Amino acid sequence: MNQANHSRFPAWSPRALLRNRAFLTVAIVILVWVVAGFAKPGFGSYGHLRYLLELAAVIGLVAIGQTYVVIAGGIDLSVGAIVTVSAVGVPLVALSGDGSGTFAVLIILVAATSIGFLNGLGVAYLRIHPMIMTLAMATFLQGVLILIAGGTAISAQNPLLAWLGNARIIGIPAGVLLWAVVSGAALAVLHATPFGARLYALGANPLASALSGINVQATTMAVYAVSGLAAGLAGVLILGMNGQGYVGIGDPYLLASIAAVVLGGTSILGGSGSYAGTIPGAILLVTITALITVVNASAGWRSILFGSLILLLLLLSGRESQRR
């Protein structure tokens, strides 16, 4: 266990630091921010950076689950749909009435976790490939959502959501604070608990982990449940920031979460990486989007720029190690 930790966190040295993808991603973010701050007045202002962080918080929350799942050797294509379930679900549940809205949020978080758990059930026991299981789940949820919520936007009014969307604690938005707290917990679970170690083992070699006594099924179900919970939390935050939920609100976060994970240096093949890289990955993604919006270009050019930049960043941080 100690040995494994050692290889994951090599002793500090300049070369090791340069090879550390999480650090590289942070460096790229800082570089982009500094360059953009000089090139574009107003970009580097505190208000703007705070706004970027708020946007990154949502992607970051979704990407917690995605990071866990990818490290464990899977992928979750249902996070977008779960974000929508949560953003549309909270107002629906809240209609039945409770004062602060805490109850509604809790119910929805449980529901989101259960959806993730069902994904895990399919992957672990029915042996369905994660991509198919979660894709089918997303298709299923999309249908159910339209049946329940229809095409209209549903607004939510309750104190908890309002606080989450608007409150500033010593100048820091509540959403960013929530992200910071949850990130801390996510990192701790990933790197300092047996569960975290099991995720790496599972992603590196499922057969070997099963033979060494890891309960593969239980771990798989747990990791997808975590992904559901994280996506649900992100949905609640979006609802708070947006004031209303509608079908399709979570769609952009599916690809964003995968991109953040990969930009953060987590191997899409599983078994390596860390949420520490995903955090700057999410910020980087939001920064790119903001920069492209600043450049006054048509929708087509914006899309091309975004894709090209992701490819470029991939070259810096996302390369798979040479196969032997």
Partner 1 sequence: MSSMIRTGDDRLYWRVQGERNRGLMGLFAVVAAFLALYAYLFPGLLSVAGVSKFAQSWLPLALVAMAQAILMLTGGISLAIGATVSLGAVIAATTMSGYFGVAGGIVAVSASGLVIGALCGVIAIRLRLPAIIVTLAASFIIGGLALLILPRPGGAIPGWFSDLLAGNTPAALVLVFLVALLWKLYLATPLGLSLYAAGENPVGAYRAGVPVDAARIAAYAISGLLSTLAGLFIAAQTGSGDPVIGQAFTLNSIAAAVLGGVGFLGGRGTMRGAIAGSLLLSVMINVMFFLGFPPVAQYVAQGLIIIGAVALPQLTARFRRRP
Binding site for partner 1 (CB under 8 A): 75, 122, 126-129, 131-133, 135-144, 146-147, 255, 258-259, 262, 267-269, 298-308, 310-311, 314-315, 318-320, 322-324
Angle in degrees, CA 75, 79, 85, rounded to 5 = 155
The angle at the Cα of 305, spanning 300 to 308, to the nearest 5 degrees, equals 125
CB of 127 to partner 1, least distance (A): 5
| DSSP letter assigned to residue 243 | S
CB of 79 to partner 1, least distance (A): 14
Minimum distance from residue 273 beta carbon to partner 1 (Å): 12
188 CB neighbour count, 10 Å cutoff: 11
The residue among 255, 237, 235 whose CA lies nearest residue 247 is 235
Q: How many residues does the chain have?
A: 324
Residue closer to partner 1 by CB (options 143, 184) is: 143
Q: How far is CA 92 from CA 139, 207, 229, in A?
A: 21, 43, 18
Q: What is the identity of the amino acid at 45?
A: S
Q: Which is nearer to partner 1, 243 or 252 (CB)?
A: 252
Closer to partner 1 by CB, 37 or 248: give it: 248
If the CB atoms of residues 44 and 252 are measured against partner 1, the closer one turns out to be 252
Shortest distance, position 129 Cβ to partner 1, whole Å: 5
Beta carbon nearer to partner 1, 41 or 300: 300
70 vs 239, beta carbon nearer partner 1: 70
CB of residue 132 vs partner 1: minimum separation in angstroms?
5
Residue 21 CA to residue 68 CA, distance in Å, equals 17
The residue behind tokens 């953060």 is 264
Both tokens of 89, joined, read 């679900």
Is 71 within 8 Å of 225 (Cβ atoms)?
no
Q: Is 11 left (phi over 0), alpha (psi -120 to 50) or beta?
A: beta
CB of 242 to partner 1, least distance (A): 23
